[in-house]
Amino acid sequence: MTIAIHTDDLHVYFDRNHALKGVGMDIEMNQVTAIIGPSGCGKSTFLRCINRMNDLIPGCVVKGRVMVNGQDVNADEVDVVDVRRRIGMVFQKPNPFPKSIYENVAYGPRLHGVLEGANGKMRRRKHAKAELDAIVERSLRRAALWDEVKDRLDKSGTSLSGGQQQRLCIARTLAVDPEIILFDEPCSALDPIATAKIEDLLVDLKEDYTVVIVTHNMQQAARISDRTAFFYLGELIEMGETKQIFERPQKELTEQYITGRMG
């Protein structure tokens, strides 16, 4: 197995609050990795280190290394815009732009344009309309939303139901062609049917992408993930095959959490 994400002694501080305490983790490529743990255990903070979303929070300091495909995302020569293009993120609450469905999906590709050329002479150009149309359709199909919205691409993204909005957000992320997709409790605002659709989609997506999902729903982690990491009070307590974590946890804390005696 290839390692997609590797962290080493990762610490995060929010002013004086030590939120992540030396987390070292390997996340494998083309797998679904679930991160579980009680509220405030640092699982979302960890996720946001991977695409550097913590940069946006004033007073947040990240120490330690986050290697994505062998490159340190915090290195000086790395462009944060490039990191976020390569590592997509889907949030807890569906957050489509108040624009049309088409514009929601086309926004990312429009931002980045097409990189063309060879022999060190690369340049960016705008997408042609047909190329953009193709990306929008492909992304919506991949997010299992195309059939529901193909006749109303010009309608506002916010007019969709919660589950559809979340799949739109996934399509929007897929449109920029990332390598890794981070999901931060993507189903916590959705009903069970919408949740099931997203879960199916996640399992399906690992074929082409590395998927990392933070969830407070243990059944969800057990259903869809290959590997599971358990966080407690800012530390990685245990990580392993999902089956092993849920059936034969090695650590006392893990067992207490998954059997519902804690958290």
Partner 1 sequence: MLGRKAKEAVAFTLFRGCALLVVLALAVILGYILTGGLERMSVEFLTGMPRRANTQGGILPAIVGTFYLMLIVLAISVPIGVMAAIYLVEYEQSSWMGRVFRLAVYNLAGVPSIVYGLLGLGIFVAYLGFGFSLLSAGLTLSIMTLPLMISSAREAIAAVPGAVREASYALGATKWQTIRHHVLPYALPGIFTGIILSVSRAAGETAPLMLTGVAMSLQRLPDNLFDSFMALPYHVFYMATQSSDLQATRPIQYATALVLLLLVLGMNLFAIVLRKRYRDKYRW
Check residue 82 for interaction with partner 1 (CB under 8 A): yes
Position 85 contacts partner 1 (CB under 8 A): yes
Measured from the CB atom, the residue of 36 and 169 that comes closer to partner 1 is 169
Contact between 197 and partner 1 per CB under 8 A: no
Asked if residues 104 and 135 have their Cβ atoms less than 8 Å apart, the reply is no
Q: Residues 210, 181: contact at Cβ < 8 Å? A: yes
Minimum CB–partner distance for residue 51 and partner 1 (Å):
7
Answer yes or no whether residue 93 interacts with partner 1 by CB under 8 A.
yes
Query: Site for partner 1 (CB under 8 A): which residue of 2, 16, 39, 56?
Result: 56
Q: What does the alpha-carbon distance between residue 78 and residue 219 come to, in Å, rounded to a whole number?
A: 37
Distance, in Å, from the CA atom of 52 to the CA atom of 60, rounded to the nearest integer, reads 11
Residue 213 CB burial class (10 angstroms; 0-12, 13-18, ≥19): buried
Which residue from 1, 61, 111, 128 is in contact with partner 1, where contact means CB under 8 A?
111
Nearer CB in complex with partner 1: 43/172: 172
- Secondary structure (3-state) at 137: helix
55-89 exposure pattern, b = at least 16 Cβ within 10 A, e = fewer: eeeeebebebebbbbeeebbeeeeeeeebbbbbbb
Q: Tally DSSP H helices, then E strands, for the chain.
A: 10, 12
x-or-dash string of contact with partner 1, 146-165, rule CB under 8 A: ----------x-xx------
**Contact letters (x/-) for partner 1, 4-43, by CB under 8 A?**
----------------------------------------
* Residues of this chain that bind partner 1 (CB under 8 A): 51, 53, 56, 58-59, 81-82, 84-85, 88-89, 91, 93, 95-99, 107-108, 111-112, 156, 158-159, 169, 172-173, 176
